[in-house]
Structure 1
Amino acid sequence: MAGKSGLSYKARRRWSLVVLLVGLPLYIIVATTLAGLLNLQSVLLELVLYGVLGIVWILPFKSLFRGIGQADPDAPKDE
């Protein structure tokens, strides 16, 4: 069963790898550029900003990453 995302397990694994290897570094560049443009004077505000941005990036990909660390549910069972 493919789950709620509509993608097979192998497709979700591949897309999650693409997100982690390509999307996350791009997001980090955008987040640090944004923090630099805001020119926050308080270290505490900057820490809060990075904390929020560190959580926000995963929300659209939550269903993609769900269950990726588990065994393939579509694989044949060895008995």
Structure 2
Amino acid sequence: MIYLHYFAGLKEEAGKAEESLPWEDGTAADVLQWAKTSYPAFDFSAVQIAVNEEYVLETEPVKPGDHVAFIPPVSGG
């Protein structure tokens, strides 16, 4: 099991802030592909992925128990 966390527009699109996903083995890219399939209306083109509160590349391994966050771009001033 991994724990997915959604922020901003993706949170609205998913209709929830978090969910769990049965998981054996894979990478951040595999989790991203699952999310793209599950939430096709959301634009993932600029989304950053964090695993256990650290930004990662898509090649990062994701293991059971990990927390994966999808973080869209933010702006401020």
Q: TM-score range by the shorter chain?
A: under 0.3
Larger radius of gyration: 1
Q: Which has the higher contact order (CA 8 A, sep 6+)?
A: 1
Structure with more helix by fraction:
1
Structure with more strand by fraction:
2
TM-score (normalizing by structure 1): 0.25
TM-score (normalizing by structure 2): 0.26
